[in-house]
Chain A
Amino acid sequence: MTSQTTIVIGYVPSPVGEAALEAGLAEAAARGDDVVILNSPRRRSTVDAELIDETASDELVARAAAAGVTARVDQSDHGDDIVETFTRVAAAASARLVVIGMRRRSPVGKLVTGSDAQRLLLDLDVPILAVKPPR
């Protein structure tokens, strides 16, 4: 019997984050994993519109439970940049997989503003499932 494994889902309240959540929950339900929903704040900001409040966070946990998955929401501040954040959380949970959502970007758009998803794909050691929202 294998020990309990965990996957980390990076969530933001947008179609991109929703896509990641759907895919992640489906994957967890299929394999019987626990889920850590990561929604941590961008450090040094005053306001972060990608953070969810308590009500929303409870709803997510309930949704996971409805799909048969035990989930918890992690909103603590983990580090200065996104790769560090995911690395720490994945290590702490001994996650076997990270699920993130990706926006469709043009090469020029990525050049000008940078792409967090790209950096994660390149730098993160844990396997990544990158999901795009439906067109």
Chain B
Amino acid sequence: MSDEHSRPGGGRGDILAELEAEVAHELEEQRPPAGGPAYQVAAALVTLAVGVLGAVLAYGYGLGSLRRPGPGLWPFVISTAIIALSVVLLVVGRKLTDSEQFSRSSVLPLAGLVTFVGFAFLLPVIGFEIPALLLSIVWLRFLGGESWRSTIAVSVGTVAAFYALFLYGLGIPLPHLF
């Protein structure tokens, strides 16, 4: 495993750096490949846009003076910091490898997101039981690749458990149908 450990202690930085490299290697195993510079640039542009938007809006709220700060002063300062840092990131960030590629399996979080939104819309209308059941079924069967037998069992069990836990155990009211 760590058979590359042949160097005896050099300077303090060496061991720590070696260690960190090994740790990084350990953790590399499970990640998708790094996204390219496009990801980094896109991210920096997004934060730049956020900074600009914030600065413009903050200016509109009135900066006041240092003696009597207006409501917009603090957000303005923060926004300019964001702009400055984003520019720095644009310059130095291109070769970073800490992003992850979106792949076909990135559809799964998207689907999960859609179920969350659907749940939020349905909850006040028909209570939590049915949306929870539906969400559970989608997550287990379609996102998780479980068999139908396992899906139904876990879904029904989970909703029942939540019913008991929230409504009886904790006494926290939830909109419910049954």
Contacts and interface: CB of A to CB of B under 8 A. Distances in A.
Q: Tell me whether chain A's interface is mostly helix, strand or loop, or mixed.
A: loop
Interface in B136-153: 144-145, 147, 149
B149 A114 contact: yes
* Interface range on chain B (Cβ under 8 Å from partner): under 10
A123 interface: no
A50 interface: no
A31 interface: no
A44 B144 contact: yes
Contacts of B145: 43-44, 80
A101 to B, nearest CB: 21
Chain B, interface SS category: loop
A81 B147 CA distance: 9
A80 B147 CA distance: 10
B45 to A, nearest CB: 36
Contacts of A81: 147
B135 to A, nearest CB: 19
A46 to B, nearest CB: 11
Interface in B98-148: 144-145, 147
Contacts of B149: 113-114
Contacts of A44: 144-145
A114 B147 contact: yes
Interface in A89-116: 113-114
Nearest to A119: B147
Interface in A59-112: 80-81
A84 B162 CA distance: 35
A81 B149 CA distance: 14
A42 to B, nearest CB: 11
Contacts of B147: 81, 114
A114 B150 CA distance: 9
Interface string A113-126: 11000000000000
Nearest to B153: A112
8 contacts: A43-B145, A44-B144, A44-B145, A80-B145, A81-B147, A113-B149, A114-B147, A114-B149
Q: Top 3 closest A-B pairs, CB basis?
A: A114-B149, A80-B145, A44-B145
Interface of B: 144-145, 147, 149
Interface of A: 43-44, 80-81, 113-114
